[in-house]
Structure 1
Amino acid sequence: MKNLNSGFSAALGAARNGGIVPRVFVFITAKVRATGAPVSIGFWTGDEDINATVISGITGLPEARSYVGAVNLAVSAISRVSDLTTQTVTVEMSQIADAAQQLVRTYDIRLAKVEIHEMTLDVASRQLSSNPEIAFLGQVDGAPVETPMVGQDGRLTISVISDAINMLERTNPRKSSYEGQKRRGGDEWGLYSSTIATWQIPWGQKAS
C-alpha cells in the first residue's frame, strides 16, 4: 500500500466539499543523437512553465525540475494491479508545441526513461498541495507523430511501458559456455561441458 504525504492526503480528503484540481507531470530522459548524452524534458498539465520539486522515481529523493506547460498534455489512466502484467500508459500532447517537436525530432527517445508524477493544486491559492508523488516509472515503447490533414487535429502519442515489469520479462542473450563462465573469477564449472554429453555412465551394472 502506498503511503501518501500529509499534504496530498489532506487535499484528497477535502475534495468532496472543496473540490479538487489534479495535475500530472511527465519527465522524459532522452539522448542527444550526436553524442548519446542524456537530456531531460518535463511536461505538465498546467498552462504555464513551472519549476517544481518532485520525488525522484529513481532515487526516492526530492529533485528540482522544470516542466513545460500549455502542450495539451493528456495521460491515460494508470492501472494499479497486483500481478506481473506489463502496464502501458499513453502520453499525448500537441505535436506543434516547440518542446514536443524538440523531444521527438531533435532527440532520440527510443527506450527513454519516463517518470509520471501526480499532485493536486490548492483550490484557493492554486499552489501545489505538496511535492508531486511518483505514479508510474517506465520507458518509451513507441512515439508515432500523427500528421493531420488540413483542418484536423494532430497529436504526438508516446506509449510507455512499466520499467520494472519489463525488466523481469527480459531474457539473457548470453549462452552458457566454459569460456563465458571462466570470466567470472576463473569459474571452471563448464570445463568438460563440450564432451560430457557423449559420456556413457553405467548405472546398475558393471561397465564393459
Structure 2
Amino acid sequence: MPELDPLVQAQLAERRGTAAMVLVWLVAKNRSTGAPETIGFWTGDDHENFTIRGETRLYYGAGAVIDVGAVRSGVGIRKRNHRLRLPPMLAETRQALRGYEPRQARVEVHVCPMDLDSGRPLAEPFRIIKGVLEGAPETLGQEGGASFTELRIATGTRLTEGLPAYKSNAALQAVNPTDRGREYSDLGEEWRVRWGVVT
C-alpha cells in the first residue's frame, strides 16, 4: 500500500470525492537501432509532463478510453497478470506497438491524484503496476462497436528454468569424477546389433 501525500490525505478527509488519472509508461526497443524508446499515455485530453521519482516524462492524452481492470497485489513471488486497454486510433499507440518492438517491453502504470478544484496534480503519481508486456492484440469492433488494443502485462517474479546440462560422460564427471555411468555413451550409436542376435 503506497503512503499517501499529506495533501491527498487532506482532500480525502474532506469527503468531497476523489479524482485520479491513470498513466501508462512503456519502454520498448527501437526496431532499427535496438535502443530503448519510451512512450507514455494518460487518461487526460492533452499531452502533459509528469515528474516521477525525479524524472520528467511526457504522456500523450488518450482521454477516458484507457481502461484498467481491477489491480490485485499481494506478498510473494507469484506471477500476476493485468490487462488494460488503449485506443488503437492514436498515432502514438501505433508507434508504440508497430514502430517499436513491444515484445517484453517494460510497463509501468501509475495513478495520479488530482485536485478537485483546479484539476491539477495534487501529488506525485504512485505506481500500481510494474511488469513486462506479454502481448498486445488488437480488436477491431464491428460497425458502431469499440476498437481497442489490449496490453497484457505480467508482474511479479518471472521464474525461468535453464536448460539442463547435456548428460555426457564429461558433464557427469565434472560434477563427480568417479561417476562412470555414461562412460561409453558416445559410442552407443556406433554399435551394430543384428536383429535376433543376443550379445
Aligned partner of 1:146 in structure 2 is 139
Query: Structure 1, residues 119-166: CA drift from partner, whole Å, max 9, x if none?
Result: 21100011101110111110001100112333322111010110x322
Give percent identity, aligned residues only.
Answer: 27
Aligned partner of 2:161 in structure 1 is 171
**One of 170, 188, 196 as aligned partner of 2:179:** 196
Q: How does 1:103-114 map to 2 (within 5 A)?
A: 103-114=96-107
Taking the aligned partners of 1:109 and 1:67, their CA distance within structure 2 comes to 17
Determine whether 1:22 maps to 2:14: no
Structure 1 unaligned spans of 5+: 56-61, 182-189, 199-208
Query: Structure 1, residues 22-58: CA drift from partner, whole Å, max 9, x if none?
Result: 1111100111111211101001111111001013xxx
Aligned partner of 1:161 in structure 2 is 154
Query: TM-score under structure 2 normalisation?
Result: 0.79
Taking the aligned partners of 1:153 and 1:172, their CA distance within structure 2 comes to 42
CA contact (8 A) 2:134 2:153 kept: yes
Structure 2 unaligned spans of 5+: 182-199
Q: How does 1:8-157 map to 2 (within 5 A)?
A: 8-14=8-14, 17-55=15-53, 62-71=54-63, 72-157=65-150
Query: Structure 1, residues 66-123: CA drift from partner, whole Å, max 9, x if none?
Result: 0011352111121122343322111211111111111112111000000111121100
Which letter does structure 1 place at the counterpart of 2:176?
S
Q: Residues 194 and 111 of structure 1: is their aligned pair in 2 closer, same or farther, counting only changes over 3 Å?
A: farther
Which letter does structure 2 place at the counterpart of 1:92?
R
Which entry has the higher C-alpha Rg, 1 or 2?
2
CA RMSD of aligned residues (A): 2.6
* C-alpha displacement of 1:197: 4.6
CA contact (8 A) 1:11 1:129 kept: no
CA contact (8 A) 2:2 2:126 kept: no
Taking the aligned partners of 2:147 and 2:113, their CA distance within structure 1 comes to 28
